Each structure stands twice: as C-alpha cells, then as structure tokens.
Structure 1
Amino acid sequence: MKFPLVAIILALSTSFGAIADVLKIKKDAPKQYVVKKGDTLWDISGIYLDEPWLWPELWQMNPQIDNPHLIYPGDALALIYDADGNPRLVINKAYRKLSPQGRITPKGLNAITTLPLQMIKPYLSYEQAINSDDIKNMPYVLGANENTKTQTLGHILYVKGDLKVHGAYAIYNEGEPYRDLNTGEVLATRASYVGMARAFRSGDESNGLPSSLRVESVKREIKQGDFLMPAMEGQLLPAYFDIHRPLEPVEGQVIASPRQVREFSRMDIVVLNLGSEQNIEPGHVLDLERESPTVIDGPRGPRYPEDSSKFEKLLSDASQLFSNKADEDNTTWKMPKEKVGELIVFKVYDKVSYALITKNQHPIRVGDIAVIH
C-alpha cells in the first residue's frame, strides 16, 4: 500500500524551536501500528522514538491526522517518510474498520490521551499542594450533628466560615509539609481530598453561628479540623498536555513522593521543589540526574569516603577548607552527575510540582536532581 508524501514545512513549532536533524526512528519500530484501548500518544511515540516528548514532530502536518489527540482504538497508523526523509505517522484509512459515521460523536469521549490519566488522575483530582498560610484562612470543620470524631455520608457538618447556600465544597485533610531538602523551607503543605459536602445554611461567624453542610460523598473519614475549598478548585483533569522541554535552564530536586517511599520507578509520581516561580509548566520534560559518589585518593589508593580512615577524611576536609594548601597526598574527587531517568510535570503550584517518571535506568530517589541544562 502506498501513501502520499507529506509536504515539508520549514518552520517547526515554536514550542520546540528549530530542529536541524531528522528525527531518529528506532530500528525495531513497526511500519504499521494499530491503536489499542489504553494507549496514549506518549506510549505510541515511545514505540518509534527514544525521546517520546518529541512526538509533535512525528505527528505534525499530516492531512490524515488533523488533530493527533483525536485518534481512537482501532485506527491503524503507518510510518512514512516525506520528500526530505522526515518520518511521519499517518492513518491508514484503508485499514480503518469503523465507518466515518461511527466516529462523529460518541467516540470523542474515547480518543486517546497524551499521558496515562489512570495513573495521574488521583493526583489531579484528589491531591493538592497548598500554601500553609492559605490553609490557616480557609473554612474548617468544627463538628457534626453526631458526637463522633469522624463523619461520613449523610452527616451534617458545622463549619467555621461563611459559606454560600447551595454551594458545593471539597473537604481536605491537612498532611505533612513539603520541604526543600537543602534549606528546610516549607514550600507547600500536602492536602488530601476526603469528601464533598453542600451548604444548606449560611453561618454568621461574628455571632458564633457555623455554616451547615450535608455530606454528599466520602472518600475517607472526615475529621474535625479538615478544611474546605470550593468544589473543583484545583481539580481540573486535562486529557492533553503540551509536552516540551523548558526554554531556559532549570535545576531542582525530587523532594518527596505522595506514597511516602524513597525509591521510585517508571510511572511513579514524585514531588519537585520547582513550581511556577521557576517558570515550570504542565507538560515540561526534565532529565533526572544523580551525582556519582565522591572518591578520596590518598596514600592507600582511591577509596569512597565511607571506606577511608578518619585521618584521611580529616585531611580531605582540611584540603577543601584550605584549597591553596591542599594536601598533595589526599585528593578529593568530586565526580560528575549522570542521567538516571526522565519525568514529565503534570501539576504545578507556586513552589512545587507533581511529575510522572517516564524513564529510569536506576531506581529514582529522593534527592535526585531534576534538570535542563
């Protein structure tokens, strides 16, 4: 089956800048691929490219794919090359099993997404990283119409704060703070969604009267002190991300995991000490690097610090303090950083962001460096 060549476009997307080299397709990439349920644009691009974040270059300017976000399970994709040798993915219309009429309305809900939403949805919908000072000013649960410490579906909540009657409010539990590993600064506070309630009686805080809400849904038990935000605030669920590298150099760290573990792998979620204040955006692709262990080269030969004697460590520390009189018999070698993985940022706050690990050569750890040079 022959496919029409795609017209070459000299000006590439401004999101990526000028790319002089032709995209390199994997040697084992298939000539044709049938989209499966659960596929994402990232998954499919990863079949063809070592750097899936370049997927817009592979899909761009194809007449058969006006919008690559609107391809569906059952579509057959063919790999072709344009007149200048640029690889492109197009839809093989001859293979398509579904009639055009069958594609018009109901299938729009089933178009494949950029990233695996089933993995990140809990963190888009149920996780917040909120400024600690903001939490102090939010309405919070005083108690309920049942004299118990935890509340559930159907209970009436009494809340400190003047809320709008008929307004829907999400209820959050305040968790541990996210801190910068180097300075100890509190960057944000983790907030976990616990339920939804609707106000039916306004309060009057000046006269000591609480607002009243009826619990409509519960994810976990609601407790005294849990705070409220308007429903859907910070809970947007985008299906598509503009995946691209930051235009300027940036460097931060993996500071935590919502799962509260210290080592992670592909498709795990991590928290970075980078946010909108560092010009981080949803869709940014960052490398993960780790500094190789320091080596002390002394009279007994090169050794890692933990294997060196106390005297060698002392000399090494002294040579670093007085570099102009460094001990010639003990040299401290600070080794370079090496790439250990990649991640995509999908949710951004002022000083922190949530990211999905998409590639790792070694287990990713708290403290690893998220960077673009």
Structure 2
Amino acid sequence: MKSQLAAIIFALSAAFPAAADVLQIKKDAPKQYVVKKGDTLWDISGIYLDEPWLWPELWQMNPQIDNPHLIYPGDALALVYDADGNPRLVINKGYRKLSPQGRITPKGTNAITTLPLEMIKPYLSFEQAINSDDIQDKPYILGANENTKMQTLGHILYAKGDLKVHQAYAIYHQGKPYTDPQTGEVLANRASYVGMARAFRKGDESNGVPSSLRVESAKREIRQGDFLLPAMEGQMLPAYFTMHRPKQPMSGSIIASPRDVREFSTMDVVVLNLGANQNVEVGHILDLERQSPTVIDGPRGPRYPEDSSKYEKLLSTAGELFGAEQDENSTTWTMPKEKVGELIVFKVYDKVSYALITENQHPIRVGDSVVIH
C-alpha cells in the first residue's frame, strides 16, 4: 500500500564548502539508524550532530544517492568514515526489514521532509507579508448576494477589479502591520488567508458593474474590503531547503509572531525584520541572541537596576544620556549579548521573513536579536 506520508523531495546542498575540521559526531550517536514514518531530516541530523544544519556534509561522498538525495521510512542509515577520517552517512543496502510482502510499490514521492512541514505549512500556504501600497492595487470584495457575516460554499461575492473569468482567487484579510522596533517603519502588512473563490462573471468598473465570484471554500469570515490574489500566488510549497549560514554578517530582531504571542520555543514560527533587501535567503541559519541585564555596582554592592536605589539609578541614567561622571563608588556594567538559540528562514519577503526556531536554551521573546557575526 502507498505510504500516507506527505510527499516532498528535499535537496541537500552541493554548494556547502568543505569543512576545515572533521565533523564532530555526538558520542552517543548510533552506528545505524532506521528511518521511521514521521521522521524529518532535522530530527535525524540532530541524532548525529550538535549543529543539525551541517547534515549535508555527511553526504558529500555518498555514491549511492543520486541527485536529488532521497531517504525513505524503512531505510537504514549507516555511519562510516572515509580515508581521511571524515564521518559519512550511507544507506545500508544489506539491511532488510522483515514485514509482510504484498506488491512492490515504487518509492516515488515518499521521501521524508527536510523540515516538519506540518509546522510551517500554514505559514507557507495561508500567510503573506505584503506592502500596503501593493494591497491597495489589488481587487477587493465589495459585498455578497447575502448579507451574512460568513460566506459559505456556493455564495456569490462581488468585487471591484478586473478579474479573469474561470480563474480561482485566494481571499486575504489585511492584518496588523509589521513595524521595525528601532525606526518605526512599516515593513509589510500581514495578510491572512480567508477563503477561495472562482470568477464567473466579468465586471465593468467604469459603469459600476462588479465582477462576480462563487465561494469554493471559506477558512474564516469573508469581509467587505478583503483583497484578492490569483490562487497560487505566494502559496507554493518549497521542494528544496538548502540549509546554510549567510556569507556576510547580519543583524536584526524578532518583531512579531503570527500567533500573536510574545514568548516562543522550539518549532515555533516568528517574523524577522530582515528580508531580501538584507540578502536573507530561504534556508539561512541564524543565531538568536539576548542582551544580558545591566548591573550597577554601587556602595551596596552589585545590583540589577530594578534593585538599585533611586540615587544609583539617577547617576546611571545621567551617565548614559549626558556622559556625566558617575559617583566614584558606583559603576554601571553593560553586559554582553549571549546566544540563546538558532532558527532557519523558510519564507522571505523584501523587508521581513518567516523563520522556524530549531533550538533554544531559554524562552525566545519578541525583541531578541537575530545575528550572524
């Protein structure tokens, strides 16, 4: 029987530079691992490496796997070492899983995913970050043939804009803007998918005649003013995730969460104030850093600002704002930033991007830094 796994092909990058040092395999890494249903490339790489995104280097000299590289549930991965002592993962073709035999089914598209698609698919399929000027130019909903809040299957919508008859259109609701915390600049507007409709009647805007669409699906309430995009625009699932570090330094921060929460953990999705304009790419691995709290070392000893006296706080603030001399018995210590996790970028726009947290030592928060030094 055909596997019910999500069908996707992942490609491992051939563009990775050769490692200057031998890859460090975890001490408790198994010599053989049998791929299970539900495994992801990230899960398996974490079994062997402390830095899972370095997985492609394990496959550099694997003659058994053609491009694109595919592994499937039931495959046995063997850990071997080449002549130079570099670790490599290969498929153990001598391994045979004993199970009832029915008919031979080609593996086809049953390869395991690079990242857990069930986590990121809603943001790949149902989330957009669009410039407000671009939204204003899109066709939008004027009303419907029934004055109800929830338009359902078969309802008719009327829209302003030149629509192509028989073409399907995705309906989006414009949400809150994503703004830069430092400059206040609006980087993009969140757009949430609400439904799908198909145009069946062409309008005539100059004579006040709207275009007509029939609702084919509704995920949530369709409102007047919701805008339209061709059905597949911005909704394609990526077949390839080439995980790699950026070649140049980057610095940004987490500015929002699509779930509107302020703390996150592993496998949560966040929004960054970095995008294609800052040379961010799909597959980039970035570090998460957090500023350690300032300490005021005064007459009562070292204390955090919230525990310091008003006098100590005043001297500290004056020194920071005006360069005023501090009390000789009071010193303000500015602590360094420390790494608190990693994330991988999976969707990029001009000024923002969506990323999946893949590792964290502490709860991640809005405002935490995203960097590559």
TM-score band by shorter chain is over 0.9
- How far apart, in 2, do the equivalents of 1:265 and 1:322 lie? 39
Q: Are residues 64 and 198 of structure 1, via their aligned partners in 2, closer, same or farther at CA, if it must alter by over 3 Å?
A: same
Take 1:221 and 1:46, find their aligned partners in 2: how far apart are those partners? 41
CA contact (8 A) 2:18 2:57 kept: no
The 1-side partners of 2:238 and 2:254 are apart by 24
Quickly say closer, same or farther: Cα 1:67–1:32, change in 2 above 3 A. Answer: farther
| Residues 1:231 and 2:235 aligned together | no
1:111 aligned onto 2:111: yes
Is the alpha carbon distance of 1:103 and 1:286 closer, same or farther for their aligned partners in structure 2, counting shifts above 3 Å?
farther
Alpha-carbon distance between aligned partners in 1 of 2:187 and 2:104, rounded to the nearest angstrom: 49
Give the partner amino acid of 2:253.
Q
- Unaligned 5+ runs, structure 1: 1-12
TM-score w.r.t. the length of structure 1 is 0.92
Aligned equivalents of 2:187, 2:205: Cα separation in 1: 31
- Residues 1:349 and 2:356 aligned together: no
Q: What secondary structure, in the 3-state scheme, does the structure 2 residue paired with 1:340 have?
A: strand
- Which amino acid in 1 is paired with 2:202? S
Q: Distance in 1 between matches of 2:21 and 2:74?
A: 32
Describe the SS at the equivalent of 2:175. strand
Q: Is the 8 A contact 2:16 2:56 kept in 1?
A: no
Query: What stretches of structure 2 of length at least 5 have no aligned partner?
Result: 1-12
Q: What pairs up with 1:1-373 in 2 under 5 angstroms?
A: 15-67=15-67, 69-97=69-97, 102=104, 104=106, 107-323=107-323, 325-373=325-373
178-187 or 349-358: which moved more?
Answer: 178-187
- The alignment yields a C-alpha RMSD, in angstroms, of 1.7
Per the TM alignment, residue 174 of structure 1 is displaced from its structure 2 partner at its CA by 1.0
Q: Distance in 2 between matches of 1:69 and 1:221?
A: 42
The residue matched to 1:43 in structure 2 has which SS?
Answer: helix
Separation (CA, whole Å) in 1 of partners of 2:205 and 2:330: 69
CA deviation digits over 1:137-189, x for unaligned, max 9?
11111001112233121101000101011111000111111111222211111
- The 1:15/1:192 distance shift into structure 2, 3 A limit, reads same
Q: Is the 8 A contact 1:157 1:214 kept in 2?
A: yes
- Give the secondary-structure state (helix, strand or coil) at the position aligned to 1:198: strand
Q: Alpha-carbon deviation of 1:231?
A: 0.6
Q: CA deviation at 1:311?
A: 1.5
Asked whether the equivalents of residues 298 and 329 of structure 1 are also in contact (C-alpha less than 8 Å), the reply is: yes
Aligned partners of 2:261, 2:308: CA distance in 1, in Å? Answer: 30
CA contact (8 A) 1:256 1:270 kept: yes
- Is the 1:115–1:240 contact (alpha carbons within 8 Å) kept by the matching residues of 2? no
CA distance in 1, matches of 2:23, 2:110: 29
SS in 2 for 1:241: coil
Letter in 1 for 2:142: L
Distance in structure 1 (CA, Å) of the matches to 2:215 and 2:341: 43
Letter in 2 for 1:369: S
Q: Which whole-Å deviations, capped at 9, do the CAs of 1:69-97 have from their partners, x for residues lacking one? A: 41100000000000000000000101144
CA distance in 2, matches of 1:301, 1:217: 65
Equivalent-residue separation in structure 2 for 1:313 and 1:330 (angstroms): 10
SS in structure 2 at match of 1:108: coil
Counterpart Cα distance in 2 of 1:238 and 1:361: 29
Counterpart of 1:353 in structure 2: which amino acid? S
CA contact (8 A) 2:288 2:370 kept: yes
| Contact 1:296–1:303 under 8 Å retained in 2 | yes
- Cα offsets for 1:316-348 (capped at 9, x unmatched): 122223437343222111100111000000000
SS of 1:325 mapped into structure 2: coil
Aligned to 1:4: none
Residues of 2 paired with 1:103 and 1:47: CA distance?
29
Q: Retained in 2: the 8 A contact 1:69–1:112?
A: no
Displacement of 1:354 in angstroms is 0.5
User: Aligned in 2, Cα 1:141/1:17: closer, same or farther, shift over 3 Å?
Assistant: same
What letter is aligned with 1:28?
D
Q: Which residue number in structure 1 is paired with residue 6 of structure 2? A: none
Q: Quote how far apart the aligned CAs of 1:108 are.
A: 2.1
State the 1:40 CA deviation. 1.3
Task: Verify the 8 A CA contact 2:22 2:85 in the aligned structure 1.
Answer: yes
Which residue pairs with 1:9 in the alignment? none
On the 8 A contact 2:318/2:324 being kept in 1, the answer is no
Query: Which amino acid is the alignment partner of residue 214 of structure 1?
Result: R
Give the 3 Å change call, closer, same or farther, for CA 129–82 of structure 1 in structure 2: same
Q: Which secondary structure does the structure 2 equivalent of 1:223 belong to? A: coil
User: TM-score scaled to structure 2, two decimals?
Assistant: 0.92
Distance in 2 of aligned mates of 1:234 and 1:125: 8
SS at match of 2:108: helix
State the AA in 2 paired with 1:202: K
Share of identical aligned residues, percent? Answer: 82
Distance (whole Å) between structure 2 residues aligned to residue 45 and residue 280 of structure 1? 23
Per-residue deviation at 1:113? 1.3
Aligned pair in 2 of structure 1 residues 348, 355: CA closer, same or farther (>3 Å)? same
